[in-house]
Amino acid sequence: GAGVSQSPSNKVTEKGKDVELRCDPISGHTALYWYRQSLGQGLEFLIYFQGNSAPDKSGLPSDRFSAERTGGSVSTLTIQRTQQEDSAVYLCASTLDALPLHFGNGTRLTVT
């Protein structure tokens, strides 16, 4: 079956522009996570969804970052007024209950 799908795979944007990153989780997975992977920093938790609600947004770095999930499926991570320090690989993962996470291949964001 299909795994977690993220798009685009690569995104280059100019500083100050807004970007949207999309995640299609595995069908039926109720939990969805966004992580950020920066060089030398490991994986940084951003936000967690259970269904369409986000009980934990504590990892979002600033109010320029937001995320939503609709229909208990697709999620979009939006970064407004991008800065160079936002450059990273953004990873999405999904799971059912407390089973291990299934990750997508990520979106590599480069802010110039």
Binding site for another protein (CB under 8 A): 3-4, 31, 33, 35, 40-43, 45, 48, 50, 56, 91, 93, 98, 100-106
Q: Which residues pair with 111 in a beta bridge?
A: 13
CB of 18 to another protein, least distance (A): 25
Q: Which is nearer to another protein, 50 or 110 (CB)?
A: 50
CB of 17 to another protein, least distance (A): 26
CB of 103 to another protein, least distance (A): 4
Q: Which is nearer to another protein, 5 or 13 (CB)?
A: 5
Instruction: Tell me, letter by letter, the H, E, C secondary structure of the chain.
Output: CCCCEEECCEEEECCCCCEEEEEECCCCCCEEEEEEEECCCEEEEEEEEECCEEEECCCCCCCCEEEEECCCCCEEEEECCCCHHHCEEEEEEEECCCCCCEECCCEEEEEC
Q: Which is nearer to another protein, 66 or 103 (CB)?
A: 103
